[in-house]
Chains A and B, each alone.
Chain A
Amino acid sequence: MAKYLKQDDLGSWLKELGKTYKVIAPVEEGDAVIFRPLTDERTLRIDRQATQGPKGVLFPACEELVSFKYGKDPEKPEKVTVDIQETVDAEPTLIFGSRPCDARGFDVFDNAFTKCSVKDSYYMARREQAVVVSLACTKTETTCFCNWVGGAPDGKGGSDVLLTPITGGYLVESVTDKGAALLDSPLLSEATGEHTAEAEKLLAAARESLREAPDFKCVPEQLYNLFDNMDFWEKQAAKCLSCGACTYLCPTCHCFNITDEQQGNQGSRIRSWDNCMSRLFTEEASGHNPRPTKAHRLKNRVGHKFCYFPDMHEGHIACVGCGRCIKSCPVALDIREVVTAAKECRLPEEETADD
């Protein structure tokens, strides 16, 4: 089902949806574009890729898992009691203006949080109540490589509705039943053949503008082969600062830390984003750290996305090619170059001879 929404009616449509959902959209904040609850005071910015994708809407940078309170048993003062309350924070939420790459990030989250034997009830509660309205890309940026990792400027994975900007408005297509329900609005009219033809032409041009996708089939095997080749990883990681900007901006990175934040006799057990670029990420209680250098850590980041995660999830690469890790890296480290170098790296002869 495809419909047409006039540019002038976008605000009204979002207002209408706002009656049912909390609407989160990319807005201008300082010099950045960040996903925030849409209010009249905020300026919607969908003309360029948001600085950070909407992953925090479903997987917050910090969330309370349980609150706890220590007390004393009045009968037995030497006995300490603990009152624990689970905190599930979920409400009907509409994510508007994500890009197809951002939405595909939720596919990766679904694999990690809902399809394993242990389900993440916090994420699942939010995911079930969320609806994702994405905006197809009619322009691609120098850092975009969604086509390298199975995506496209008009990819539908992870989205419930896909909008394509065309003359005077948007072509609005539902992807899921959840999304179809949003298209009932009287503000939307039936799309004409001209609308769909224009959208297809723009999207074909966008797909065409991307750099040709290299064949990544051999990458997992190459990454395993390079596992102990620290010379390779040290060169690749030489300019890395080992900060976490890439991971926190990544639509697929989902590692976290859990800490107890206690004041007096009460507190919270919180889950907050953590990242594999940080030394403390793998520091063990004994003091031993299996990833002592930034080279070990970059190896893990690339390995997780292009090798270990696909191994565990039917080949699904944990990178959506949004390019933020390249664009916002303080030193412009390019993950495309690292993966390509791994792919093309000829292994020392003595190692291949053992195979």
Chain B
Amino acid sequence: MLDQLKETIKKALPELDFVMGWGMGFDALHATPLFMYEPEDVDKLVWGPLNIQNLATYLPSLKGKKVGIVVKGCDSRSVAELLQEKLVNRDEVVIFGMACQGTVNLTKVREIVGNTGLVEDVKYENGKLTVTADGQPHEMLLKDVRADKCGYCRFPNAVISDHFVGEERAPQVEEDTFEDLKEFESQSFEERRDFWMKEMDRCLRCYACRNACPLCVCRDHCVAQSRDPHWVSQQDGIRDKFMFQIIHATHMAGRCTNCGECERACPVDIPVLLLKRSFNRAVKNTFAYDAGLDAGATPPLLAFKVNEDNIKEKEW
């Protein structure tokens, strides 16, 4: 299947500036975005559960170039959302879709392996990952170390593509019932507040969450750092840092495609996707809408209806 993908990319490459996929990073456990300019670059392409980065993040900054992008199901939703918002031109992007088997959460692997800095080799076969570190092989099932988002994935197949390679896969679930959120919300207000205060305490204000997010497109002009006007304090108190996360989550309302890049990119493992999930559920309940499924649709918070279908204000 990977060979078929490589062939498809090689065929399309002459018409494109480059194609984005994944190559092997600094060790066997880490994939890294691969920019393929020449056919020989395509030979470095890898595919598997370690292809964790969502490459759609690069698209808005590549306007004016004609590029190819390899996508998993969730990545394809980000591309669709970017097309919806006209942040990417459809005729400037060629989408190579594959069916995703789920991606690995490296923090969970670390919990099993101990120190992932000592990884020597990784093998993936039949849903089983074998990570050898410090001479010691550790076997684990992908379903035990995959990203939480993959547990409630409805779209393993690219929702939009120009070239779909390989067989489609059945979705993990038919409906996302937000069980993770329900579990979190079963705690008292004080418990939840304390949880966030503790988690946000170690935030570095590095903005990896923001820059890894494909829909966080203000980026260079972000309210969090703007100097004139000076919107947000540069203090590093917990409240200041939490304030930024709330701004980020609010800006994502109705646009977030649940790719989880914000959380994955966080160097200190703060579970910030939980905040976006809350907004995703609110948008789903209010507008019966999921972001990034239809490149032709208008996100509900970018549209205006005098009478919203699900907001019965006249009946209040």
Binding site for B on A (CB under 8 A): 29-32, 34, 47-49, 51-52, 61-62, 139, 141-144, 235, 238-239, 241-245, 247-249, 257, 259, 261, 270, 272-273, 275, 278-280, 283, 323, 326-328, 330-334, 336
Contact = CB atoms under 8 A, between A and B. Distances in A.
Interface stretch (B81-89, B111-119, B274-282): B111-119
B176 interface: no
30 contacts: A30-B199, A30-B202, A52-B268, A141-B118, A142-B118, A144-B117, A235-B37, A239-B58, A241-B212, A243-B210, A244-B205, A245-B206, A248-B204, A248-B205, A248-B206, A257-B234, A259-B230, A259-B233, A261-B233, A261-B235, A272-B205, A272-B236, A275-B206, A279-B219, A328-B267, A330-B211, A332-B26, A332-B30, A333-B32, A334-B26
Contacts of A47: 114-115
Contacts of A332: 25-26, 30-32
A243 B58 CA distance: 13
A292 to B, nearest CB: 9
B35 A241 contact: no
A327 B117 contact: yes
Q: Which of B227, B233, B234 has the most CB of A within 10 A?
A: B234
A30 B197 CA distance: 12
Interface in B98-148: 107, 110-111, 114-115, 117-119, 134
B12 interface: no
B143 to A, nearest CB: 19
B202 to A, nearest CB: 5
Contact of B211 (A238, A242, A259): A242
Contacts of A330: 53, 208, 211-212, 261, 264-265
A277 to B, nearest CB: 9
B235 A245 contact: no
Given A242-B211, A270-B234, A330-B261, A30 B269 contact: yes
A48 B227 CA distance: 38
B26 to A, nearest CB: 5
B57 interface: yes
Contacts of A323: 117
B235 A270 contact: yes
B220 interface: yes
Interface in B189-210: 198-199, 201-202, 204-208, 210
B172 interface: no
B270 interface: yes
A51 B35 contact: no
B79 to A, nearest CB: 17
A326 B26 contact: yes
A30 B199 CA distance: 7
Contacts of A248: 204-206, 267
B234 A62 contact: yes
Contacts of B269: 30-32, 51
A239 B62 CA distance: 12
Contact of A62 (B198, B230, B236): B236
Given A32-B269, A272-B235, A332-B25, A279 B220 contact: yes
Contacts of A29: 198, 201-202, 268
B226 interface: yes
Given A30-B270, A32-B269, A142 B27 contact: yes
Interface string B24-41: 011100111101010000
Contacts of A245: 204, 206, 208, 265, 267
Q: Which of B37, B199, B211, B226 has the most CB of A within 10 A?
A: B211
B35 A238 contact: yes
A262 B227 CA distance: 14
Contacts of A261: 233-235
A62 to B, nearest CB: 4
A55 B243 CA distance: 25
B33 A244 contact: no
B32 A48 contact: no
B205 A61 contact: yes
Contacts of A247: 206
Contacts of A49: 117
Interface string B180-191: 000000000000
Contacts of A143: 26-27, 117
Nearest to A235: B35
Give the top 8 A-B pairs by smallest Cβ distance, nearest first: A141-B117, A330-B265, A243-B211, A332-B25, A31-B269, A328-B267, A62-B236, A279-B220
A158 B109 CA distance: 33
B207 A244 contact: yes
B117 A48 contact: yes
Nearest to B117: A141
B31 to A, nearest CB: 7
A51 B208 CA distance: 15
Contacts of A326: 26
Contacts of B234: 62, 257, 259, 261, 270, 272
Contacts of B134: 139
B115 A141 contact: yes
Contacts of A239: 32-33, 35, 58
Nearest to B201: A29
A221 B276 CA distance: 47
B118 A52 contact: no
B268 A142 contact: no
Nearest to B199: A30
A48 B268 contact: no
B314 to A, nearest CB: 42
A331 B206 contact: no
A51 B268 contact: yes
A227 to B, nearest CB: 22
B211 A280 contact: no
Q: Which of A238, A244, A272, A331 has the most CB of B within 10 A?
A: A331
B117 A331 contact: no
